[in-house]
Chains A and B, each alone.
Chain A
Amino acid sequence: MKEDLFNWYKKGFDNLPPTEPPPMVWENIASALDGKPKRRIPAFWWWSGLSILVVGLATAVWLNYSPTSNVANAKPESFSAQSKRPQTVMKHTAPSKQKESSNSIQSKTVNSDNPFRETSPSQASTEQVATANNTSFSKQKASITSHSPEILVSTPSNPENNLENTNAPVNSLNSNPLAEETNLSITQKTETILTHSSGLILPKRSFIGFELSTINPELTTTSQQLPELIIPKMNNSGSSWFFGVASEINNNWVFNHDLVDAMRKESMNSILPHFSSTHSLVASKEFLPNHRIRAELILSKKEGQHYVTYLNGQLLKKDLHLNYSGATLLYDYRNPSPKNLFGFTLRTHWLGGASLCYLSESKLAIGQTMVSPSGYRKMNISLVAGMEKEVFFTRQLSLGAGLRLMGGLTNIFKGYENIPAWFNRTHTGNIAGTLSVRYYLNIPNH
């Protein structure tokens, strides 16, 4: 019997026998009619709350971190040390008179200028008077070159306790860019106390291990008030370039109707974020002090979302993966006041800009089936805002860590033949933790 496809289909449909639905359908209906649906907090709100909490806590920690010193507010500290033997003290100190007990070293600076000023080479004449255990100390003037803060040096005049040349360490400091080695040898011979501030004299190297190793053990038992760690500001006339690599851990969302639907308590959909990593090459140019332009070449950036739908006791899962590459251009404002983080310079950056990305691949996993949806636009423009902390381990090498918020401006859903783009506006968005390593081509103005 020949029959038309439509008729065949209609007959098949109409001939479908009545079928008893699953019993839980009525239970669900009765529950809904009672107005007592199971209270369910959509996953979206869980994740949003968690993200906001994490971001809030992280921001609070960053912003309220109380450093031990701030260059801008650095205040001179006195220093005293008790020792049974004559001591030589190299101390980075402030221009104030310091008087201590008879066993202490007394120092004073002649130069009353702020030795930590950022501009102009500092020339400090220091005069040190130190007495300890009947040992007289010579007065010595030290001329400090630029890029070095003032140094107070006191050396014993007693030949027995003296070094080969008491001027040597000062000269070395002035002339040798790797002065810390010289300084160290002197320290060992003369039992020089190098407090952790002494390391800051040396601009080219990190110093914290060096400092600790040169403290006379005998002195560690004595009462001493260590000066605050003071980071010298360098006179840097040129603008700085840096290059580096950056990685982000993204917490991705795709803002669309499904996400809105998932916010409803009675929704049977759950939306979960898609975690991914982003890797970029970074370059930055300072065009004004503390104002920079930063460009990031995004090698790989993944957006997406997980969908879980609960239907009749079964979970149906769907994963959307969108892989992008592109570039980000950021305005980078650096907080002019550096801080101290365990002896390292800590700078805060505020970032704002935009990102232009190209969709290189789109995948949709429905259960075990993977398909390539074609309904997504190739270009995606996002706004970016963030904050970053940068720690300098050396003068030119730094590590940055921060948080970013990114929101897509473009409706990435271009639609299908039967679903216009406007019907399901879709925007990307994510919260990202960033980590970057940078190398400055020229010495930045820390």
Chain B
Amino acid sequence: MAEEASDKQLVDGCVRGERRFQELLYKRFSPKMYSVCLGYAGRGNEAADMLQDAFIKVFRNIGEFRFDCPLEAWIRRIVVNTAIDQYRKASRQAMPLSLDDTLELDDETVFSHPSDHKYFLDLVSALPDGYRLIFNLYVIEGLNHREIAEQVGISEGTSKSQLARAKKYLQQKLKQETATNPSAQKNEGRSFQLV
């Protein structure tokens, strides 16, 4: 059964250009990768676009996959690289966010938040593209500033400052959300400290 094909069989089928294996590979990994895209894109339509570009790259370059890592990790790496590419493309017309008016936050303030995914995605969407990318690369992918700088095409200092700004921006958004939606403080009983 093709549905039960191993990663090796999927890759071999895709290398041969067989559509059913391509579709199978897509169906197997696209839900997880779409979640990654949502985390990087912030908005559904951009995430779909990102996913589409990423899987086109996957299928066009799958012959270069050497099974030296899990297939899912390899695809995820392509998705993240696509996110970086899209950011570089979109950032040409992007504007820096002015943080002049941001609230002075007390880093020791403790907030609570609901744990549902929609809330998290809304928060991610609220992050400016540049901040979100740097934040994700640093926090989620575990890259250091030098690696981020190389991949995104910015300086190391810029990466650091973007991360700091992203952190401050996230804190601000969380504080605003909590202030405008007091029920969020009670929800789930979870809290975290903004440090």
B69: CB under 8 A from chain A?
Answer: no
Separation of A417 and B159 alpha carbons in the complex (Å): 10
Provide the residues of chain A in CB contact with B38, threshold 8 Å. Answer: 16, 19
Mark interface residues in B120-131 (1 if CB within 8 Å of A CB, else 0).
Answer: 110110000010
Given A13-B136, A417-B96, check contact A4 B193 (CB 8 Å). Answer: yes
Query: Which 7 residue pairs across A and B have the least CB separation, nearest first?
Result: A18-B31, A312-B45, A424-B92, A12-B120, A311-B45, A16-B35, A312-B48
Q: Are B93 and A318 in contact (CB under 8 A)?
A: yes
Residue of B nearest to A268 (CB): B49
Interface size class of B (residues with CB under 8 A): 35 or more
Q: Bound complex: CA of A320 vs CA of B47, how far in Å?
A: 24
Contact of B96 among A30, A33, A257, A374 (CB under 8 A): A374
5 A-B residue pairs with Cβ-Cβ distance under 8 Å, sorted by A, are: A1-B190, A16-B117, A373-B95, A374-B96, A419-B94
Cβ of B150 < 8 Å from any Cβ of A? no
Contact surface of A with B, Cβ cutoff 8 Å: 1-10, 12-22, 24-26, 28-30, 32-33, 256-258, 261, 268, 307, 311-314, 316, 318, 320, 364, 371, 373-375, 416-419, 423-424
Q: Please, how many angstroms separate the alpha-carbon atoms of A30 and B24 in the complex? A: 12
Of A7, A33, A419, which is within 8 A of B59 by CB?
Answer: A33
Contact B48 A22 (CB under 8 A): yes
Residues A18 and B35 in contact in the complex (CB < 8 Å), given A29-B55, A30-B19, A418-B96: yes
Contacts A13-B140, A20-B31, A32-B56 given; indicate if A261 touches B89 (C-beta within 8 A).
yes
B59 cross-chain contacts in A, Cβ below 8 A: 29, 33
A325-B190 Cα distance, complex, nearest whole Å: 56
| A9: contacting residue among B31, B89, B139, CB under 8 A | B139
- Interface residue SS majority, chain A: mixed
Given contacts A17-B35, A26-B23, whether A2 and B95 have CB atoms under 8 Å apart is no
Chain A residue contacts of B115, Cβ below 8 A? 12
- Nearest chain B CB to A427 CB, angstrom units: 13
B window 20-55: CB within 8 A of A? 22-23, 26, 30-32, 34-39, 44-49, 51-52, 55
Q: Closest A-chain residue to B163, C-beta based?
A: A6
Looking at the assembled complex, report how far the CB atom of A85 sits from the nearest CB atom of chain B, in whole angstroms: 79
Choice from B139, B154, B192 contacting A3 with Cβ under 8 Å: B192
Knowing A13-B136, A21-B34, A418-B158 are in contact, say whether A2-B193 is a contact too (CB < 8 A): yes
Contacts of A419 in B (CB 8 A): 91-92, 94, 154
Residues of A within 8 A of B135 (CB): 9
A17 to B115 alpha-carbon distance, docked (Å)? 13
Q: Contact at B192–A8, with CB atoms within 8 Å? A: yes
Flag if B161 contacts A417 (CB, 8 Å): yes
